[in-house]
């Protein structure tokens, strides 16, 4: 095994409800307003929850050849589009690279389930001959990363994980490991989700996981706020270009920041409720810090999972206190899902992209809709218009159903 190598982020591709591309995402963050609205993709009236965060300005023809786009569902369209944006941002042409040293790691909670849902409706109405023959390849969860391999001709490590709402962060963490251990030089890594279909949406509504603040959609996602009542489902994607640092420097690549730690654990407690003591969420953070022996007091910013659910937010607050001690009250914390809802498997990747932008542009985003903090959530949550800052280390948390916990640690470039 080669000595551990350093890994940097050189490109960002984002498709989110608050904006598409680097400037779209950045402008959305600086606006400090929520993109959550009453759901328009279908009639949500049968459900308790009527709100969601949709990507309304995505046009597949802006990113893919029309014939190719027609063969892909929205989830795979998002994946390829985000990857194209990331590669353009990195000024990287994979056709000029050794394909064996380039790979893709993706995460998605539900994959092509919305397409499957639509095709099932056609089957019931018109019979099996009406079903799209490409359906089997759509519901194949590995389509998220395999379509990237096909699109860009890359033959290195390739995995799509389905680890719920932590899967995007896990994909980035595993891509980081692959480069660090010499298994690849370049990785496309991130998460994608396109879950806005009646059955998928309704499944989360039935278990009362989502907000019912239907009369105030823009205020429905409110991490750490006393009045939070559940998460808001969203769609979107984010992909980062990860490179071995020396090769990135040699080609004069733009570098946002360095990935320097990754931790993962499981609560082994419950499929939907977090472990009450937060101990395993804390262990994921400690593992990320221990990767390069970073002390807790060196971390200047945490992008929290902050799902806006009654149980997650105080549990995460407790876990942060366990890791950071008194510094937990000084470190800046944002829960950015107030902007764009919870895009399930894409959320961790979107939030990693936000960390990269926040670091390179020296500004930390606020926690949108945090107007009346929960007394049990008593950390230094950024509010209002955010904060100008240049933290040396940034941490991003992602937690998901099944008790999965993931943490990514970043270091400022330079």
Catalytically active residues, by annotation: 165, 305, 342
Q: Which two tokens stand for residue 86?
A: 């990331």
Distance CA 143, CA 106 (A): 9
The neighbour count for residue 134, using CB atoms within 10 Å, is 17
Strand-pair partners of 395? 302, 409
Q: Give the pairing type, strands 7-16 and 257-266.
A: antiparallel
Helices (H), 279-385: 279-290, 312-324, 337-340, 347-361
Question: How many other CB atoms are there within 10 angstroms of residue 2's CB atom?
Answer: 8
CA pseudo-torsion sign 299, 20, 95, 150: positive
Q: Using CB atoms within 10 A of its CB, is residue 131 exposed (0-12), middle (13-18) or buried (19+)?
A: middle
Q: Where are the beta strands (DSSP E) in 179-294?
A: 186-193, 236-244, 257-266
* Residue in the structure block whose two tokens are 């937010």: 313
Q: Which helix (H) or strand (E) holds 412?
A: strand 404-412
For residue 33, count CB atoms less than 10 angstroms from its CB and return exposed for 0-12, middle for 13-18, buried for 19 or more.
middle
Q: CA 282 to CA 319: how far, in whole Å?
A: 5
C-alpha–C-alpha distance, residues 156 and 144, integer Å: 15
């Amino acid at each position: 095994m080669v000595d551990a190598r350093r890994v940097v982020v050189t490109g960002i591709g984002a498709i989110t409800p608050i904006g598409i591309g680097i400037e779209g995402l950045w402008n959305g963050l600086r606006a400090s307003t929520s993109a959550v609205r009453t759901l328009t993709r279908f009639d949500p009236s049968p459900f308790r929850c009527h709100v969601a965060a949709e990507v309304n300005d995505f046009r597949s023809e802006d990113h893919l050849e029309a014939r190719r786009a027609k063969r892909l569902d929205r989830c795979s369209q998002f994946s390829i589009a985000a990857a194209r944006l990331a590669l353009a941002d990195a000024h990287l042409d994979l056709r000029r690279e050794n394909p064996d040293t380039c790979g893709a790691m993706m995460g998605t909670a539900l994959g092509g389930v919305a397409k499957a849902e639509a095709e099932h409706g056609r089957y019931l109405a018109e019979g099996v001959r009406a079903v799209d023959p490409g359906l089997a390849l759509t519901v194949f969860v590995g389509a998220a990363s395999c379509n990237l391999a096909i699109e860009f001709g890359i033959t290195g490590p390739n995995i799509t994980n389905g680890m719920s709402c932590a899967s995007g962060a896990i994909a980035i963490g595993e891509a980081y490991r692959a480069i660090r251990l010499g298994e690849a030089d370049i990785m496309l890594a991130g998460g994608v989700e396109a879950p806005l279909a009646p059955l998928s949406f309704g499944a989360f509504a039935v278990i009362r996981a989502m907000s019912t603040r239907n009369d105030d959609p823009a205020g429905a996602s409110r991490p750490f706020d006393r009045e939070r009542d559940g998460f808001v489902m969203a769609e979107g994607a984010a992909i980062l270009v990860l490179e071995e640092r020396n090769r990135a420097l040699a080609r004069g690549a733009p570098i946002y920041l360095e990935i320097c730690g990754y931790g993962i654990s499981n609560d082994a407690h419950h499929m939907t409720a977090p472990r009450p003591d937060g101990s395993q969420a804390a262990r994921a953070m400690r593992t990320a810090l221990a990767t390069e022996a970073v002390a807790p007091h060196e971390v200047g910013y945490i992008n929290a999972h902050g799902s806006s659910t009654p149980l997650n937010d105080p549990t995460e607050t407790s876990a942060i206190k366990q890791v950071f001690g008194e510094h937990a009250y000084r470190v800046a914390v944002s829960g950015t899902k107030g902007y764009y809802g919870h895009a399930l498997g894409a959320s961790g990747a979107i939030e990693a992209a936000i960390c990269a932008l926040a670091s390179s542009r020296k500004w930390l985003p606020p926690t949108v809709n945090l107007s009346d903090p929960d007394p049990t959530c008593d950390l230094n949550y950024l509010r209002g218009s955010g904060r100008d800052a240049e933290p040396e280390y940034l941490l991003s948390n992602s937690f998901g159903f099944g008790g999965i916990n993931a943490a990514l640690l970043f270091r400022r470039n330079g």
